[in-house]
Amino acid sequence: MTNRVLAIAAVAWIAAASWAVHAQQPGDGPRYTGDTLVRPVDYREWTFLAAGLGMTYEPENTAAQPRQLFTNVFVNPSSYRGFLQSGTWPNGTVFILEIRASASEGSINKGGHFQAGIVGMEAHVKDSRFPDGWAFFNFGAPGGALRDATAPLAPAQAARCVECHTKNGAVERTFVQFYPTLIETAKRMGTYKQ
């Protein structure tokens, strides 16, 4: 009888420990290996926020036009649902910025641009493990391959990102002004900054 009680207690302890670990990390939140963020392989199943073509933060260049790139922004579904409830991003939010080449000649296309291969990928993560609660990651690698995991940008590298996102982000450090389906939610919740 004593062995049976011990076995039941051990199973209960393991179940409680397992629940505590899962409760700390949402199923679709950031995944780390040590200090590196693991690139989510299923991000294309996440909530799609917006796409841009040729967007840049630099002044217009009157010389040669740079190649126009598509940018697609995805966010993990649990954070999207959290935003709809509060107008802010919960801890564990992961944004993926997928950068794709654009093409204009292909198949039956006679004008305009369509998306082509991936040329880069970045992540913006809200996580209390970082000193100011947010971090930037770049999964790009020389030769165009994507890394499976990457460390956050060093403070000197991230300074420009932090400055721009802090100054120009419509909600917290995020560009909700470019996510048309979320603007009204942020305004209604009083979290939108012009």
In a domain, 60, yes or no: yes
In a domain, 20, yes or no: no
Which has the closest alpha carbon to 38: 129, 139, 106? Answer: 139
Residue 67 Ramachandran class (φ > 0 left, ψ -120 to 50 alpha, else beta): beta
Residue 75 CA to residue 137 CA, distance in Å, equals 14
In a domain, 4, yes or no: no
In a domain, 6, yes or no: no
In a domain, 136, yes or no: yes
pTM confidence score: 0.81
**Helix-helix angle 77-86:180-189, to 10 degrees:** 40
Domain count, the chain: 1
pLDDT in tens, 101-117: 887 777 876 777 777 88
For 178, the domain range is 28-189
Q: Which CATH number goes with the domain that contains 58?
A: 3.50.70.20
pLDDT in tens, 29-65: 999 999 899 999 999 999 999 999 888 777 666 455 5
